[in-house]
Structure 1
């Protein structure tokens, strides 16, 4: 029998569904109006449009670009600087590290472009493929009469190619860095596919697989590996006594433990591994602090994500937390009065929110709204993490997953079964306006 708190949570979920639908409708109507009224140059000036530059186009940056490309006032434009050839759909990474055949790993790389809603065609958005090396300040020559400080007048990005791009507003959405299965760490699709296939080969050839880290990626990969290869020894090693710690409640741990044990995964909790600093691919065993030894001929590390905050660390060292994240105000501006025109969103930002695509999209919508408000001289909105950003679907084997809701007072876990080994990758492609799984770059490569 559901409790009152569970019924209230169900009501909240229904409310969120309506809210999301309303937001999508509002954005669609705004986009239609923008197409009819936007001009790259200001009606009162024939000069070049002022740039709102977004560094990074994963969930946070790509959605911010979409929102801004369909709402930015005339005389401004969005410039997206992205180093990767394709959008990398990280949620499917653990699965595609395990399953072989069918070319599924290609589905993790979605072509960029259509999601911007025509912004590239009408000039409200410009796409630059490149890597930013440095952010340079640009100060006004005139001194402020009140405090003698220079007035912030934007700045300039220096790309690896040597190109320079001026900005009036800057959004840092550079995410975090890690190894597979959390991140691919390669800029080109072809290189990423090779890494996936190398991981698939390693797991298939192994006898004793040890997965280090009991977060979502570690749990999912361990479950998939054991489900696909029941004859292998698969061990999940986690330094804490509870899996899925952090933003997840105790019920998520209980469900994960139950399903992993049912599959036959060996769980070692509350133990740390003593790993050599050098290459770990030649290990024959993993030694724990307790002295216990675990046979291992394939070690997969699902730990150590680090925020890509070096650009801001060089520009504004005081804006970096001990964990390496960028300090932000509730307005999502970085916490530095000298750089109020710089914003940070997504995994790189210290927002207090869970680090996932849903939270990144919420932050993207807020930052887009605040930049438009800043251009128009309006007061900014404040972003505060919402409970629904923590909604999670966790796979627990090749055909089973659970959907998790937690509003702080109640947890709901709904089991789900699916035979789609590609984890609805086709829906991601459609969301981004691309026909599954047709990639123009594949045709170009075939012709070359």
Structure 2
């Protein structure tokens, strides 16, 4: 019972409001029947458009464009109708099978205590960003944060401006990690500060190894043209990467001069709440949640399956198709449909459909999910969010409707190479494009989060 004696509505909770969580929330909100409510919980006041953060951490003047208000995240005509669509900015403390504990109560939103009970949940908490872009856990200079970060827009903008000053003040920069994040950092720093020595260190002999070798070739040529010193096949000796020192070493003993080190590796899935809920749901070898093809949370078969995972530099496969994040996500539709047809023909889906789970009401999407080889990327989180949303609505409707199954699309990526050029791979085709906007067309993502932009001044809210 609520404080006024009424019976609380049945609840769908979405944990995390980034690309996958936002899409799931929008589709669920559009089809939610009377007597139900949807509650979206995120620790930030605004959606963080992470794909442009490397650019905005280097180039000043566009910081405000990366943080999109959650004002109309459900994208419904009347978002304030009877508390049916609720957004809460809160930090999650713990998760049980049918409730989530929050940092406090929110009676103004019908959440009378710090524990919110739910009937269905979509877990979309993604992964930790590497330290050069981890607003929650480090100050812009890489040192432990001096004060508590609250996830609001003003301090997010200030954080990026601090990172810009840190990079500007550095006499030389070492970028560690040859994934998309490292490549973008290195080429942007070289473009904005052409006289600053920049080194890119990558532990492998090939950049973006899950993509066509032509991607490696194009990126390497762009790095060399920007006078970035590229070192492949060597690892940083982390013991030598101490703040205040102007030199570091690789594990082979190579000396690199750099008074700023950007560690663009080590992205970790945010699955700690699932691990605490039931350790059988998270693979210890990669920290990813085991999911069924329906995107429902499942259990690993004992003993826990050991999955050989490619070493994955942070954000190595992260980006959307040919535009800032999800602006042109439709380019994947044909490939997804063809892949789904192939699965139907060979019967591979039938085996997955037989897997049982004690958590049929909990769905996991995005970077936290071990999603059948899908690369950790915004466009994949988007499609997984769609599958989860449609399945939640089918379960609510009942009547034994078969649940939809998820099949990943082919790997796709776009990586900016300095301020004027990019390289992409879509449907197996590698191409080179021109960047026409310094802000990487940031406004294109705002509509996705329910905030279409008619004038750039609107992006300050």
TM-score range for the pair, normalised by the shorter chain length: 0.7 to 0.9
Q: Does 1:169 align with 2:124?
A: no
8 Å Cα contact 1:215-1:245 kept in structure 2: no
1:420 to 437, 446, 455: 437
Q: Which residue of 1 aligns with 2:407?
A: 384
**Displacement of 1:206 after TM fit?**
1.5
Following the alignment from structure 1 to structure 2, what is the Cα–Cα distance between the partners of residues 440 and 58? Answer: 18
Following the alignment from structure 1 to structure 2, what is the Cα–Cα distance between the partners of residues 97 and 334? Answer: 36
TM-score, structure 2 as length reference:
0.77
* Unmatched tracts of structure 2, length 5 or more: 1-5, 106-113, 137-148, 300-356
Following the alignment from structure 1 to structure 2, what is the Cα–Cα distance between the partners of residues 368 and 117? Answer: 15
Could you list the per-position Cα deviations for residues 292-334 of structure 1 after superposition, in whole angstroms to 9, with x for gaps in the alignment? 1000111111111111111110001011112111110101011
Q: Does 1:58 align with 2:18?
A: yes
Bigger fraction of residues in strand: 1
Q: Which residue of 1 aligns with 2:99?
A: 156
Q: Does 1:244 align with 2:208?
A: yes
Following the alignment from structure 2 to structure 1, what is the Cα–Cα distance between the partners of residues 80 and 213? Answer: 49
2:251 to 273, 289, 312: 289
Q: Does 1:105 align with 2:48?
A: no
Following the alignment from structure 1 to structure 2, what is the Cα–Cα distance between the partners of residues 429 and 158? Answer: 30
Higher relative contact order (CA 8 A, sep 6+): 2
8 Å Cα contact 2:64-2:460 kept in structure 1: no
Following the alignment from structure 2 to structure 1, what is the Cα–Cα distance between the partners of residues 383 and 166? Answer: 37
Following the alignment from structure 1 to structure 2, what is the Cα–Cα distance between the partners of residues 415 and 190? Answer: 35
Q: Which residue of 1 aligns with 2:354?
A: none
**Displacement of 1:343 after TM fit?**
0.8
Count of aligned pairs between the two proteins: 370
Q: Does 1:367 align with 2:318?
A: no
Q: Which residue of 2 aligns with 1:21?
A: none
Following the alignment from structure 2 to structure 1, what is the Cα–Cα distance between the partners of residues 294 and 448? Answer: 27
TM-score, structure 1 as length reference:
0.79
Following the alignment from structure 2 to structure 1, what is the Cα–Cα distance between the partners of residues 209 and 91? Answer: 34
Following the alignment from structure 1 to structure 2, what is the Cα–Cα distance between the partners of residues 128 and 394? Answer: 33
Q: Does 1:258 align with 2:221?
A: yes
Bigger fraction of residues in helix: 1
Following the alignment from structure 2 to structure 1, what is the Cα–Cα distance between the partners of residues 457 and 242? Answer: 37
Q: Does 1:94 align with 2:57?
A: no
Following the alignment from structure 1 to structure 2, what is the Cα–Cα distance between the partners of residues 70 and 283? Answer: 55
Could you list the per-position Cα deviations for residues 205-235 of structure 1 after superposition, in whole angstroms to 9, with x for gaps in the alignment? 1221100000001001100111111111100
8 Å Cα contact 2:416-2:435 kept in structure 1: no
Q: Which residue of 2 aligns with 1:317?
A: 279
Q: 1:437 to 1:281 in 2, by over 3 A?
A: farther
8 Å Cα contact 2:65-2:459 kept in structure 1: no
The structure number with the bigger radius of gyration is: 1
Q: What is the 5 A alignment of 1:17-416? A: 47-100=7-60, 102=61, 104-118=62-76, 120-122=79-81, 123-137=83-97, 155-161=98-104, 163-185=114-136, 187-246=151-210, 248-276=211-239, 280-321=242-283, 322-336=285-299, 337-351=357-371, 352-377=373-398, 378-387=401-410, 390-406=411-427, 411-416=428-433
Q: Which residue of 2 aligns with 1:18?
A: none
8 Å Cα contact 1:93-1:180 kept in structure 2: no
8 Å Cα contact 2:289-2:297 kept in structure 1: yes
Q: CA RMSD in A?
A: 1.9
* Unmatched tracts of structure 1, length 5 or more: 1-45, 138-154, 443-448
**Displacement of 1:384 after TM fit?**
1.1
Secondary structure of the residue aligned to 1:341 is: strand
Following the alignment from structure 1 to structure 2, what is the Cα–Cα distance between the partners of residues 168 and 369? Answer: 15
8 Å Cα contact 1:214-1:237 kept in structure 2: yes
